[in-house]
Structure 1
C-alpha cells in the first residue's frame, strides 16, 4: 500500500491559513506597486499617458475583483460532502455485494445496478474511515477527514479541497490570477527596466523602487507557474477527469466518463455561456444537470452512437 503523506500533515490546515495571508500579501504588494506608486500618480498628473494609465487601472481593478471573488468562492464553498446515509440506487434483488478488490482500491465492491447512468456491473465503493458508501468519483481526504465528491486535490492555497461543487470556481481563480499577474507584469515592466538604469537620476524613494521590483518579480513568477497549472487542469477538463483519476486510471483504457470535450466542459462550467466566467451556476443548470450535485455521472457507454 502506498504511504499516505497526509497522515503526518495535519498541520496543512494551519499552513493553508498562512497561505491565505500570502495571497493577500501578494495582492497588497501588487496594488501598491501598480496603483499607489505608478499609475494613479500618472493619472493625477495628466498628460499623454493619462488614457493608458486609466485603462491599466480599470483592467487591474476588474481582474482583481474577479480574482478575489473566485478565490473566496473556492475557500468558502464546500467541495461536496456525501449525504448522511447515502446508498447506491439499486433494486433489492440486484444488490449482491461481493467483497472483491478491484483495480487498486481495496475498498471497492461490485454490484449490479438498475440505474441507466451507472451502467451494468458498476463499481460501488465503501469508505471504512467514514463508514459509509462512496459515490462514484469520490475520494477520502485525510486532511479534511471525510470523503469529497469528485475530489481533485486538497489545495493548501485555499485551505479547502477542490471537488464537485467548487472545481469551476478553482479554475476561474487560476484563469483570473493568470490574467491579473500578466497585466501587472506588463504594467511594471518599464519601471522594472528603469530600476537597473541610472539610479542617481531616479527621484523615486528606495521603498518605492523596492516595491516595484518585488511586485514585478512576484507577479512574473506567479504568471508562469499558474499558466502551467491552468493548462494542466484545462486538459483534465477536456478529458472529464480529475488529478486523482488521471493518476489512477490505466493509460490503455478509454476513460468511461469521457463524453467528448463539449459535454465534458459543460459538466464543469454549466450550459449557460453567460455564466461560464462567473463563480456561480444558474438555478436552471443546478436543477437540470445532475452531475453538478456530484453523486451521479453519465458514462460513455450510455451515449455511444450519439454525435459529439
Structure 2
C-alpha cells in the first residue's frame, strides 16, 4: 500500500510537470494559428483584393478592418490572461470579523484547532499542502503549487491558472477567439468551396495549402471555443466556477447566486465601458472588493442588506 501511494504521488508530480512544459507549446500553437490565419486572410485573399476595384475593394477593406480589430482584442485578452496573476492568498491572511452581528473571531481559542478537522466549516478553511488559511472559494492548484483565489481551472492554453483576477480576461479571450475564428471561416469559405469545384483558383500550391489549412483550423476552433464559451456564460450567470460546479452540493441553491446581473458584475465590473476590454476601472476596483478575490457576499448577506 505504501509503495502504491508513493507511485501515485510520483505520477501526479510527473503529470503536473508535463502540464507546465505543455504550456509553452500551447502559446506557440496559438501564435501559429494566428500567423497562418493572418497570412491566408491578409496576404493571400483580401490584401490583393484591395486594388481589384468596386465592389471587391470595399468588401476587402471591411473584412480586413474587422479582422484586425478582433485580432487586437483577441491578443490583448489572451496575453492579459497569460500575464495576470490569478490571485493568491496574502501572507498572514485572516477572515474578516463581523462585529455588528456579534460574530467571534473563529481563529481565537480552541476553535482554530478544529478548523483542519472540520471540512464543513465554510468560514475558515486550511490548505493542507500550503499550510495556510484559505479564503472562501479558494482552491489549491497542483500545477502551480499554490492556492488560487476563486480558482476556475488551470488552463494550459494560457499557461496560467484562471482565477479571480484574470477570469474576465479569459472569458474575453474565448469571446474574441470565437468571433475572430468565425470571421476567418466565413471569409475563407468561398476559397474552400472553390477547392471542390472546377473553377480555376489563383495562387501557388503553398498559398492554396495555407488557405485550406487556415479554414480548417479556424472552423475547428470556432466550434470548440463556442462550446466552452456557452459553458462559462452559464457559470457566470450562476456565479459559480468550473470546480464549484463539479463539487458535490447538498443545498438546492448556491449561496453566492445573487441574480444574473449582480453575478455578471462580480466578474466584469459595474462600469459598462470596461465590459469588453480585459481591464477594470479604478472606480470598480475601489467600490467592489469582490474583484480582489477575497470577499464574496452570499445570498443570505444580500437579502439581509435589502431587508
CA distance in 2, matches of 1:69, 1:80: 19
Q: Is the 8 A contact 2:115 2:124 kept in 1?
A: no
Post-superposition shift, 1:204?
Answer: 1.8
2:188 match? 188
CA distance in 2, matches of 1:300, 1:8: 41
In structure 2, relative to structure 1, the CA distance for the partners of 1:294 and 1:100 (3 Å cut) is closer
Q: Please list every run of 5 or more consecutive structure 2 residues that lacks an aligned counterpart in the other structure.
A: 98-103
Q: Secondary structure at the match of 1:11?
A: helix
2:219 match? 220
Deviation per CA, 1:3-41: give whole Å up to 9, x if none.
887533112111000000000000000000101000010
CA distance in 2, matches of 1:202, 1:80: 52
CA root-mean-square deviation: 2.1
Post-superposition shift, 1:99?
Answer: 2.8
CA distance in 1, matches of 2:64, 2:22: 33
In structure 2, relative to structure 1, the CA distance for the partners of 1:302 and 1:212 (3 Å cut) is same
1:153 match? 153
In structure 2, relative to structure 1, the CA distance for the partners of 1:6 and 1:240 (3 Å cut) is farther
The alignment status of 1:26 with 2:25, answered yes or no, reads no
1:206 match? 205
Q: Is the 8 A contact 1:107 1:127 kept in 2?
A: no
CA distance in 1, matches of 2:32, 2:193: 24
Runs of 4+ in 1 over 4 A off after TM superposition: 3-6, 91-94
Q: Secondary structure at the match of 2:114?
A: coil
Q: Is the 8 A contact 2:151 2:243 kept in 1?
A: yes
1:51 match? 58
TM-score, normalisation: structure 2: 0.89
Q: Is the 8 A contact 1:109 1:124 kept in 2?
A: no
Equivalent pairs counted in the alignment come to 290
1:247 match? 246
2:119 match? 108
The alignment status of 1:7 with 2:18, answered yes or no, reads no
Which 10-residue stretch deviates more, 5-14 or 180-189?
5-14
Q: Please list every run of 5 or more consecutive structure 1 residues that lacks an aligned counterpart in the other structure.
A: 111-121
1:79 match? 86
Q: Is the 8 A contact 2:106 2:112 kept in 1?
A: no
Q: Is the 8 A contact 2:125 2:133 kept in 1?
A: yes
Residues 81-96 of structure 1 aligned to structure 2 (within 5 Å): 81-90=88-97, 91-92=104-105, 95=108, 96=111
1:113 match? none
In structure 2, relative to structure 1, the CA distance for the partners of 1:255 and 1:240 (3 Å cut) is same
Q: Is the 8 A contact 1:109 1:126 kept in 2?
A: no
Post-superposition shift, 1:195?
Answer: 1.2
Q: Secondary structure at the match of 2:154?
A: strand
In structure 2, relative to structure 1, the CA distance for the partners of 1:109 and 1:255 (3 Å cut) is closer
Q: Is the 8 A contact 2:70 2:176 kept in 1?
A: yes
CA distance in 1, matches of 2:115, 2:79: 42
CA distance in 1, matches of 2:295, 2:106: 21
TM-score, normalisation: structure 1: 0.89
Q: Secondary structure at the match of 1:193?
A: helix
Q: Secondary structure at the match of 2:277?
A: coil
Judging by fraction of residues, say which structure has more helix: 2
Residues 115-194 of structure 1 aligned to structure 2 (within 5 Å): 122-194=122-194
Q: Is the 8 A contact 1:126 1:133 kept in 2?
A: yes
